[in-house]
Amino acid sequence: MVEPSQDTHKREENKRLKAGTGPSIADDHNKIGGDIKFTKNPDFIQQRKQVFDELFAVQSKKYEEMPREAIKITLPDGKVKEGTSFVTTPLEIAKSISNSLPDKICVAKVRYSRRVGTLDDGLINPDAEKADQGDIWELYDSFRPFEGDCDLKLLTFEDPEGKMVFWHSSAHILGESMEREFGVHLCHGPPTDSGFFYDAYTGHDIFNKDNYKTIEDAAKKVVTEKQTFQRIILTKEEALKLFEYNPFKVQLIQNKIPEGGKVTAYKNGDLIDLCTGPHIPVTSRVKAFKVMKNASAYWLGKATNDSLQRIYGVTFPSKKELDEHIHFIEEAAKRDHRLIGQHQNLFHFHHLSPGSGFWYPYGAKIYNKLTTFMRDEYRVRGYQEVISPNMYNLKLWKTSGHYKSYKNNMYLFKVESQGFGMKPMNCPGHCLMFDSTIRSYRELPLRMADFGVLHRNEISGALSGFTRVRRFCQDDAHIFCAPEHIMQEVLGCLNFLDYVYGIFGFNFELELSTRPEDKLGDDALWDQAEGALAEALNKFGKPWKENPGDGAFYGPKIDIKVFDALKRPHQCGTVQLDFQLPIRFNLMYKNDHHEHLDKSMSSDTASVHSEASHASYTSEESKKSNMRSELYAKDELDEEDFTWQEHPLKNGYSRPVIIHRAILGSLERFIAILIEHLGGKWPFWVSPRQAIVVPVSEKFIEYGERVQIYLHQQGFEVELDRSNHTLAKKIRSSQLDQWNYILVVGEKEQKHGTVDIRSREQQQIGSKRVDETVEFFKSLIPKRSNQFFDLISKAWSPNDFPIVHEEEQKQQEQQQPEAKQEIKQE
């Protein structure tokens, strides 16, 4: 599969709203925080406010001098509202629509067609998002006057961007509370996917749970004060003066803002902070505020820098929503795959191999059942499983382009002075396999499946159980096909994932991500590919929506989001078209229009790989490459030993398209999702604990063992409870350990060759003979897919050829002469 940045090529809107984005800051490994102690209402608050007021007064005069002209504001429904530049605000437009609407608006989204004027010259707006036509949508303070004619969208907390702005403003409320109560130096306070946090320098003091109430009470006060947000544009010199008390802000300004550049800051109440915004109009929009946890962090993420204290929080427009969120978190904590995995003895992690799980026998059973399940489906769906190497020469990764864009996420090392890398995905290796021989159009579509082990160099701080690992395995497949095969192959992938997700009870949503602005390839090919994907989605018959511009540069894709029992979205599967890897590897196949070409051409093309591949070297070039490798061996990996060059197609050949396809995705991550989706209550067919035989007393252990052996030999995961506990305790322990069925055996069962069956949910199934129990267990295995039954219907069947027994055949042979004699006589 392709790397995450391409697999999930979902462009994050308004990146600067999120942690860890925006221009980079130069590393500084010196401790700069100095001596500081918790102090309530520190002096710098008033000093900073005085500087801000002076600067804001100057800006206000500039705004007063901006031209007032009639402007037009176009709403999403096409209605046009009249306004005045540098006077009319989005909130006023909202009020003209409905008196109650302004109270719901978190932020506006604006696309200008004509600007009368602006004070933002020199500002780089990292929140800008390019629309399809190349126009620019920007998130915009709802209290900020319009600067010209524009299109307008009004976003609430229900909109993802509106929620991010709401939580971003809440981070400022948190920051103000931390400054007021503890006098900390604020560093960084972004929203996250589940709330927000603020990092602060506290010297040798640290936060703990005893501080939570103090912060929450201060935040409630900020909310009741109904503080408005004010936006100011600062030069670099003004910013340094405003934040001269804070060494972290000073370093950030010095490293991030170029000379002559400008930056924005926002003020609400006593807080003033560097920020690109935008923000909610007033703090009173926040009706429920809660501190969730605290942790340690490092300035700029470097362990050699100052240690910071991080406070996490979450807010909502109503207390009811907060209560629901807390309940959700509590339920999610109960379902945490790390806890359930430990309790059920499925796997564990060790610091000597971070990001790599150790699968115990019970966990390995689940893992293997999933791969067996997929392999069984591969057999009926025309996939061919392959096994490919784990490490490759860097020439491969340079050919594919991954070395340039993905090398920081790879494990690289040297072998005999040559640079090598562990594979983070299978697709380049599969390209080599396709290219290993001359291919014909008759072989297509060629579906390669691979369960090979992959390694990705994730930073240690990002590792989290099995949801983010360094070593993993995917149900990876690559379909090499002709362009005219795309629709049918994609439809087959969609039907495949529908069957698999249905087995586990997952609902899912589909999005078609189309060509981005930086696409490669001509429009005709993209038109054909996008049309084929849309046709496949329509034939699939489930709702889908288009996501314009969100495809990868090398091809459009279908994004699939599955939702677990807590309605959390997860991206496991992908269906991704790729036009570029076939070009990078010069993949080709004989097309049907040129079969009449002279066979002598075959001698020139004994191997597509040897003559026209991506890595075509002369012996002299190879010598030079080896010399360079030796030269660089002492220091670092060779950066110069290979440069990819595009090769033209040969006469009589066509270029295949690759479909990257995964359904489970990472097996480790899918199992983690499955654990939390099911709460550890495994369905029978995939359960590592399908049934346990429980003798009512010690004298029935021998019979119980015979039952256990028989059922185990039939392929079921069955064990025997040999403990001397009471029957009630044995049954209760079996239920807690999530055995699907408990088979009680005693005198009656031993006499009649039966077992008494009950489920882990305490449902009484009743008494069954042991052989009947086998049939009962088989009935619990999911029904095979439609493709399986379609294939069976086409297969040879003994019913087509009735068996004639030897005696019947002799009678027929004896009757045949008599019948012939009768015919002659007649």
The sign one gets for the Cα dihedral 676, 677, 678, 684 is: negative
343 belongs to the catalytic site: no
Residue 649: the pLDDT is 87
Domain with CATH 3.10.20.30 in the chain: 66-156
With contact defined as beta carbons under 8 Å apart, do 11 and 517 qualify? Answer: no
User: What is the CATH topology of the domain spanning 66-156?
Assistant: Ubiquitin-like (UB roll) (3.10.20)
Residues β-bridged to residue 719 = 692
Residue 800: the pLDDT is 79
689-780 has CATH 3.40.50.800 classification: yes
**Rounded to the nearest 10 degrees, what angle do helices 361-381 and 486-504 cross at?**
150
Average pLDDT over residues 389-403: 92
- Tell me the pLDDT band of 818, cut-offs 50, 70 and 90: low
Domain with CATH 3.40.50.800 in the chain: 689-780
**Cα 126 to Cα 117, 123, 130, 404, 752, distances in angstroms:** 20, 9, 11, 24, 76
Intra-chain end-to-end CA distance of the chain, in Å? 78
Name the amino acid, one letter, at 714: Q
Residue 605: the pLDDT is 43
Residue tagged active-site, from 435, 476, 550, 721: 476
Q: What is the chain's length?
A: 826
Average pLDDT over residues 101-130: 80
Each residue's pLDDT tens digit, 119-133: 888 775 433 444 334
424-592+638-674 has CATH 3.30.930.10 classification: yes
Residue 29: the pLDDT is 53
**Cα 53 to Cα 269, 475, 524, 819, distances in angstroms:** 12, 60, 58, 120
655 belongs to the catalytic site: no
Q: Which residue has the higher pLDDT, 670 or 550?
A: 670
427 belongs to the catalytic site: yes
Domain with CATH 3.30.980.10 in the chain: 43-57+161-329
Each residue's pLDDT tens digit, 209-267: 999 999 999 999 999 999 999 999 999 999 999 999 999 999 999 998 988 889 999 99
Residue 607: the pLDDT is 40
Mean per-residue pLDDT of the chain: 87
Each residue's pLDDT tens digit, 739-749: 999 999 999 99
Residue 133: the pLDDT is 40
| Range from 110-124, 285-299, 488-502 carrying the lowest mean pLDDT | 110-124
Each residue's pLDDT tens digit, 763-783: 999 999 999 999 999 999 999
Residue 595: the pLDDT is 59
Each residue's pLDDT tens digit, 279-319: 999 999 999 999 999 999 999 888 889 999 999 999 999 99
60 pLDDT more than 70: yes
359 pLDDT more than 90: yes
- Tell me the pLDDT band of 822, cut-offs 50, 70 and 90: low
- Tell me the pLDDT band of 787, cut-offs 50, 70 and 90: confident
614 belongs to the catalytic site: no
474 belongs to the catalytic site: yes
Residue 805: the pLDDT is 66
275 belongs to the catalytic site: no
Residue 131: the pLDDT is 38
- Domain with residues 43-57+161-329, CATH architecture: 2-Layer Sandwich (3.30)
Residue tagged active-site, from 447, 660, 689, 760: 660
Contacts of 207 (CB under 8 A, 6+ apart): 294, 309, 311
660 belongs to the catalytic site: yes
Domain with CATH 3.30.930.10 in the chain: 424-592+638-674
Residue tagged active-site, from 290, 557, 677, 730: 557
Each residue's pLDDT tens digit, 411-457: 999 999 899 999 999 999 999 999 999 999 999 999 999 999 999 99
Each residue's pLDDT tens digit, 718-734: 999 999 999 999 999 99
- Tell me the pLDDT band of 575, cut-offs 50, 70 and 90: very high
